[in-house]
Amino acid sequence: DILEIGAQWSILCKDIPSFERYMAQLKCYYFDYKEQLPESAYMHQLLGLNLLFLLSQNRVAEFHTELERLPAKDIQTNVYIKHPVSLEQYLMEGSYNKVFLAKGNIPAESYTFFIDILLDTIRDEIAGCIEKAYEKILFAEATRILFFNTPKKMTDYAKKRGWVLGPNNYYSFASQQQKPEDTTIPSTELAKQVIEYARQLEMIV
């Protein structure tokens, strides 16, 4: 019980190393002593949290290793385990819109912390694609593609990345502005980037 409280408290404090330490100890009880101890009411919730933690840190190999330790029935039917498993599937498919929608369907409030980290990572990846594929992008389009629900959130994020909003309501990018004037992008390479990003947009929509 103390270890489980500690793991939950670590989430409240946003202390990732502490959470990882508590989970390392808890897994000994959950798996190594499962025949000797009664099953904890919080076991699946915390194991699901651990899966989400690994996903948010892009530790996919460890995610699958932990998943293999769980019974197939839990993976298929337990709400706490199914949630991170579904998220991983959406990521592999490139269905980012489903990942963002999944935040509104979390099985426990404690899942919010790690799913927010995951969503920030996805946004950064999409923003990186935008910067490579376009010289500029309309404010409203950037807001939609990056899944922001308010203009302020879009504005704050753009400032963090160094995007500049012009009088025509288009964002230009710091990475574009820093390029020397005589630097040109080969048309074939640019076309590949645009096609790849268009493919990603289709999956997002």
Residue 58 maps to which CATH number? Answer: 1.25.40.990
Same domain as 141, residue 58: no
Separate counts of helices (H) and strands (E) for the chain: 12, 3
What digits encode the pLDDT tens for the residues 26-67?
Answer: 999 898 877 777 888 999 999 999 999 999 998 999 999 999
The answer to whether residues 34 and 16 belong to one domain is yes
Last residue of a domain, one of 78, 105, 120: 120
Fill in the amino acid letter for 81.
Answer: I
Tokens of 154: 């879009």
pLDDT tens, residue by residue, 158-202 = 999 999 999 899 999 876 555 444 444 444 454 445 445 555 555
What are 182's two structure tokens? 């005589």
Is 136 found in the same domain as 97? no
In the chain, how many domains are there? Answer: 2
Model pLDDT, residue 1: 81
pLDDT at residue 38, as a whole number: 80
- 22 and 115 co-located in one domain: yes
* CATH number (domain holding residue 175): 1.10.10
Q: State whether 106 and 128 are in the same domain.
A: no
Q: What is the DSSP letter of 137?
A: E
State whether residue 163 is helix, strand or coil: coil
Domain that holds residue 73: 2-120
In this structure, are 74 and 145 located in the same domain? no
* Predicted pLDDT at 181: 46
Statement to judge: residues 66 and 133 lie in one domain: no
DSSP character at residue 105: G
Same domain, 37 and 109: yes
Angle, CA 148 vertex, CA 144 and CA 149 arms, to 5°: 100
